[in-house]
Structure 1
């Protein structure tokens, strides 16, 4: 009823606008002294135009929009209705052969006045309504400077006008043509380099980045300038969505280190991935880990028939199972506790479910921990676990087996990297000398942001405790990508593989860890003097530079720009039997014996000797301290 009454009132206003435009036009034509012979014409014309305009307004859809949000689409509808009325008047003038001729000037005066009344009325209503709702907020809120005076900045300002928390005082933009102009009454005062001075002048301590299409380098520069000036720098995630009206300003958040690492959005061939996964039984090992859990989330988009989650950590398995219960209850999930080294459990899982696609993400990945005292466990988990899962997949007829590897498998200097390379070779051997029933593929990539044991959560914790932030070496660098990006590219690689490939993900440019630490300190609102960086020396097995391709390897392009195929050396036919024999020896196996065994099959493995101590010496040191 309220909607009907509102539409009826707007309809009456539009008819009133016709009366004002028609009568007002005649009065203007005759200098407000309407001749008596035109009075009858005025009433006759008004009646006809009211009928025509009523039909035109309905046809133009004028009563679907809300006046308080009157905008360009509403103006277009008004123009349509006015155009129909104007054409009707033009036809009348052309056909009129009566005694009292309609003034030709009305062909212009009537539609112009009608447009002014209809459009102006709507604009005035919106201005009055917004002033009543938000006018009291204009002088409130924290002063803020917006970086970017384009469409993104304009949409952001519209949102901020309705917020009591923010008050836009100025904008900066590197486009010289915009300097000195205004956006919704707010001045554009200069370029990005002027930001510190602008913040001081307007006594602002907050900056919001509104640059949805800016390069990462520009975003990094803007953040750095703002942080150095002592400001809190914010961004709006998915600003394109904000521009489309789908995200509220409450989604605004501080700039994070992930925003500055330059990772572009990933596009994958969803049709092929869908064809590979839809309706299939899919097994993910290590399903509760950083990569494994994200892989499961990405897999759920492609309608697998059954998704089997195999995980040794009870809490991690519970967490990922609860995520599916909350967010994707439509996906049939089978959470199974189990260790990839446990052949009996694997036999039980594969015989019961016979998965068609296997993603093997379970692994020990922490380099220093696996280097001293845990080397044989790294071998058992990373190599034996891979061999166990892969042979079960082959025996039970899985179509694909995808092994998640690491850049540390290239020219490894640590046990963890060497075990991952040996596991890659296991997959290559099974592809070359196995039953050919299963396609074995390897996907190799570097560090992922926010993963378990990642340097970024560690730095964040150290900053929260006041520092120092510990970096092993001033020159150490690493490749980084986001967890969702890595998971999507794993799916893409698995869909395009034919078996035997080692896919290498495009990790972009390596990032110096010390620069990462400095940026995180500044983004947290501290200077380098307030929280210092301390260099602790390379840890056991750690190397300065990670590589994605070994020296003896060449790469081939693939249809996807972020994926390449590494051609590694062939694996001898006796390899699998020798590795099985080595893995079957009874524990314990010393760290030195593990390294010797790894070097036998991975000749490019050259153990780093910095910081490496035997378990016995480490235990002796602990006893001495006690």
Structure 2
């Protein structure tokens, strides 16, 4: 990979004023031309092409015959000229050549022009034969070639003139395209049709492209990027490398940002259609684009087969994970999706969204049911009345500091709620039950993680005693973009100008995207044999300090330092109660493979039936008594790794 040569200092780079946010008014002449009625434009182009037919035929006669005899030759071919021009209008109109937009003069348009030139040459030859004009066989060939060249040249000249008028008068922002492949060419043509962005050059680290001129732009080596940015006053570089690995794009993006340029990425075709214009669709590199690993492909046919035609109930359906589960279930074509949620507004939102997705008449029923997982009679009534086949249990209190301060409610929802839903599933003969858990359940140091570990034990115990229902669980890392996660917090802090708060310089976390998390749950349901714990191979954990630095750079700002005191500061606040420096995915080392190479099955220790029942009685008694210390004492007894903090003893 060719490194990008950097300027010796920031002083070497010219200071370029930030582009205006509002699009300036287009110049009157350009505006008038663009605003002409479509039929008027077609008529003008047809008139241009007919005049070029006459010019090309005259030029062919002049080139074929001696200059001294040219005038006589032209008079001798007057009939051929009239006949060819007369039929040319029908040929050009029939091929749709006047209707080809100037902005879209590409391969198919050139093919149409070539076909038109061939037909016109044939017509000219036939007319000369019928009128007995002294036309040698080479004359139609010269005529066709001349017409094709003139037609293409005229279109390029008009297009170039219009672009020049607009660029000089409309204040377009210059951009460089990184990647001269198919995607780069497409975005170059699209940007030329935009009103505010103007591509000035390609850069590419593929030496095979270097020196070529593609889409009217010269391709330079990646090492030339600093010079090009200074020469054209470029402050934005667009990555047209969506097929490259995340690791390569991250490396290139970091190099570009080091030059002081903003990095934007090429959107998908769907985003272009949705957003309506190229300028709107181009987006800054998103945080999950810079997590140092490729997204895991979890699109497995077994998922669709498992859920197709079944009734699936999602608890916590209005949450970050629950709502994404519902969206992905739509693609699996279940017979019915039962949304179970205690928040009325969240339930309304996901219900309305799903009904909008299902307007095409897929036949999927959506049932919105208000209720809490701690209300046993309501849970049982919904499961039995809806005839539920699968339950995806995503309802939980998950924010570590919040549950640490509200441990009784956290345990009631996460432990007792899981027991209620899982037992109701077993009693109703539900086929499969999937618990959404967390990596914080592994040797937890906080109540939230410990409550999820106890919930896992409840599920494992029920599975041993009830083989008819398959019960399993999945463990997540930190989910990007979910409510309360670190990335939305960092985004808000950056928007306020900082500082970004990090609890410890060495803290690390595993990260996954919301779609990955939801797909993992669905795949776990498809792969589950009973009592399974599924985890996703998320690569190496990410240092939160490094993530904070990346997000600051991503925003176009700089990290505060001695040499740049105006940058955004990163403040270390100290570990919060119950927070760990690092997370683990499994308790032991016993991991086995599944049908998907990135999903692993863990074999872990569990409580006996007697111990599980004793634990549940102790948790319930602590909740009923409102005794937080009693609850923590119970957790310490049954959950490996948890110890009551000194601050809790003092309460």
Interval of TM-score (by shorter of Structure 1 and Structure 2): 0.7 to 0.9
For structure 2, the residue ranges without an aligned partner over 5 or more in a row are 1-36, 562-566
More divergent stretch after superposition (357-366 vs 581-590): 581-590
Q: What SS class does the counterpart of residue 282 from structure 1 fall into?
A: strand
RMSD: 4.0
1:380 aligns with 2:380: no
Q: CA deviation at 1:361?
A: 0.2
Partner residue in 2 for 1:28? 63
Q: CA offsets per residue over residues 506-535 of structure 1, 9 Å max, x none?
A: 223211111011122233313232333333
Partner residue in 1 for 2:389? 356
Q: What SS class does the counterpart of residue 359 from structure 1 fall into?
A: strand
What TM-score, normalized to structure 2? 0.79
Q: Relative to structure 1, is the Cα distance of residues 600 and 245 closer, same or farther in structure 2, using a 3 angstrom cutoff?
A: closer
More divergent stretch after superposition (270-279 vs 304-313): 270-279
Mapping of residues 21-420 of structure 1, within 5 Å: 21-34=56-69, 42=77, 60=95, 62=97, 65-84=100-119, 102-106=135-139, 108-131=141-164, 134-137=166-169, 140-168=171-199, 172-176=203-207, 190-191=221-222, 195=225, 199-200=229-230, 202-238=232-268, 248-262=278-292, 264-265=294-295, 267-269=297-299, 271-324=301-354, 332-371=365-404, 373-420=405-452
Partner residue in 2 for 1:451? 482
- Which among 457, 474, 493 is matched to residue 425 of structure 1? 457
Structure 1 CA distance, aligned partners of 2:38 and 2:215? Answer: 31
What TM-score, normalized to structure 1? 0.82
- Which among 591, 598, 603 is matched to residue 562 of structure 1? 598
Q: CA deviation at 1:375?
A: 3.5
Structure 2 CA distance, aligned partners of 1:466 and 1:17? Answer: 61
1:469·1:533 contact (CA, 8 Å) conserved in 2?
yes
Q: CA deviation at 1:554?
A: 1.6
Q: What SS class does the counterpart of residue 585 from structure 1 fall into?
A: helix
Structure 2 CA distance, aligned partners of 1:36 and 1:149? Answer: 49
Q: What SS class does the counterpart of residue 369 from structure 2 fall into?
A: strand
Structure 1 CA distance, aligned partners of 2:600 and 2:456? Answer: 16
Partner residue in 2 for 1:623? none
Q: Relative to structure 1, is the Cα distance of residues 45 and 227 closer, same or farther in structure 2, using a 3 angstrom cutoff?
A: closer
Q: CA deviation at 1:198?
A: 5.1
Q: What SS class does the counterpart of residue 571 from structure 2 fall into?
A: strand
Q: Relative to structure 1, is the Cα distance of residues 120 and 238 closer, same or farther in structure 2, using a 3 angstrom cutoff?
A: same
Q: Relative to structure 1, is the Cα distance of residues 282 and 128 closer, same or farther in structure 2, using a 3 angstrom cutoff?
A: same
Structure 2 CA distance, aligned partners of 1:466 and 1:67? Answer: 45
Structure 2 CA distance, aligned partners of 1:432 and 1:461? Answer: 46
Structure 2 CA distance, aligned partners of 1:124 and 1:167? Answer: 18
Q: Relative to structure 1, is the Cα distance of residues 391 and 215 closer, same or farther in structure 2, using a 3 angstrom cutoff?
A: same
Structure 1 CA distance, aligned partners of 2:189 and 2:167? Answer: 13
Partner residue in 2 for 1:624? none
Q: CA deviation at 1:120?
A: 3.1
- Which among 483, 508, 513 is matched to residue 477 of structure 1? 508
Partner residue in 1 for 2:11? none
Q: What SS class does the counterpart of residue 621 from structure 2 fall into?
A: coil
Structure 1 CA distance, aligned partners of 2:86 and 2:527? Answer: 64
